[in-house]
Chains A and B, each alone.
Chain A
Amino acid sequence: MGASTKTKPVKVLIADDDPIVRQVVRSILESASPFAIAGEAEDGSQACEMVVQTAPDILLLDLLMPNLPGLETLRQITAGDMGVHTILLCSAISDRQVLEALQLGARGVVLKSAVAELVPALQAVMAGRYWVRGRAVSNVVQIVQELAQEAQTSASPAKKFGLTPRELQVISLITQGSTNKDAANSLGITEETVKRHLTNIFDKVGMSNRLELAVFALEHGLIKR
């Protein structure tokens, strides 16, 4: 009984809309015992169907997919109590999304730029642990508390308003009194592009003129005093 349990393959379902990602994951897991590919899903809806059909032990789930986004797929799978452990496999994820994923029942998060973590993450999750921020953790409550605290305190003003690095450069120049033409010369872009950046910036921060923007930037720490 013990020996047969040890050799039983761990069935993995890969859900990602990118065939390259699926091929990389398949290739890595096929070379690593005891993993076996249960199937591949190209979107969230198909992932939900295939979890029912193939009863995998692990679902590797992309965050952004057509039809049904990753977190919504996770919500449905968790609600269905299908006995599958879900690990998010994504190219980028915010702490807030990690927190949400864990609250929705995810057992781990692996970044696509860290595929070397894939096998250790699966092993940790199969051993009843979680895999977050590149390490196995047993105490998920502690991780959730850490993430919740950081999500509250670490959001920079720029992130809060969704400003890009280029927009911050434009804000900095405008606040120093540069004209659109000066800003365009400093940044090596056209005056028209500076105007478009300003329109986007005004939309994002809810201001309507340069003076308001300068005061707002200083008050919210968007530029150094």
Chain B
Amino acid sequence: MKRAAEHELKARLREVWMRTRSIIEERISVLESTVSTLQSAPLSADQRASGISAAHKLAGSLGMFGLNDASECARSIENALSLETPDSEELKQLLARLRTAVQAHKVATEA
């Protein structure tokens, strides 16, 4: 019975993942653009706010799909972007880890 419930939950999550993966990709693109900007210039208030919002939403949604490490990375990015002077190198590393975890999930889920 418990196994059936787990199977049902997994199927539901997969179905929502397939429907919403483009939103996840968009959020990662926002973070990539934010980090890329930060490497050459300070962020504007709008850029910072959209980066924080994308990271915050990724932290929540990726956790729901069971991507706990990626969710933690997103949370760390959200915290780092909230600092007065974010560390672009640290952000770059976190984002790479997040991207790798999402890619692995995509391969496993969409196969």
Contact = CB atoms under 8 A, between A and B. Distances in A.
Nearest to A199: B85
B57 A92 contact: no
Interface string A1-39: 000000000000000111111011001100100000000
Interface of B: 5-6, 8-9, 12-13, 15-16, 19-20, 23-24, 56-57, 59-61, 63-66, 68, 71, 75-76, 79-80, 83-85, 87-90
Contacts of B90: 166, 189, 193
A20 B61 contact: yes
A115 B57 CA distance: 16
* Chain B interface, >50% SS class: helix
A113 B63 contact: yes
Contact of B60 (A23, A91, A116, A164): A91
Contact residues on A (Cβ < 8 Å of other chain), bracket: 20 to 34
A18 B60 contact: yes
A112 B63 contact: yes
A164 B79 contact: yes
Nearest to B71: A113
Nearest to A62: B60
B85 A21 contact: no
* Chain A interface, >50% SS class: helix
A111 interface: yes
Nearest to B15: A27
B12 A31 contact: yes
A199 B83 CA distance: 11
A55 to B, nearest CB: 27
Interface of A: 16-21, 23-24, 27-28, 31, 62, 64, 90-92, 111-113, 115-116, 164, 166, 189-190, 193, 196-197, 199-200, 203
B16 A24 contact: yes
Contacts of A196: 85, 87
A74 to B, nearest CB: 18
Contact of B8 (A31, A111, A166, A189): A31
A19 B23 contact: yes
A18 B57 contact: yes
Contact of A193 (B23, B66, B68, B89): B89
B30 to A, nearest CB: 14
Instruction: With a 10 A CB-CB cut-off, give which of A16, A91, A166, A199 has the most chain B CB atoms.
Output: A91
B89 A23 contact: no
Given A27-B16, A31-B12, A116-B9, A91 B75 contact: yes
Given A92-B59, A116-B9, A20 B24 contact: yes
* 6 closest cross-chain pairs (CB), A and B: A113-B63, A91-B60, A20-B61, A196-B85, A27-B12, A112-B63
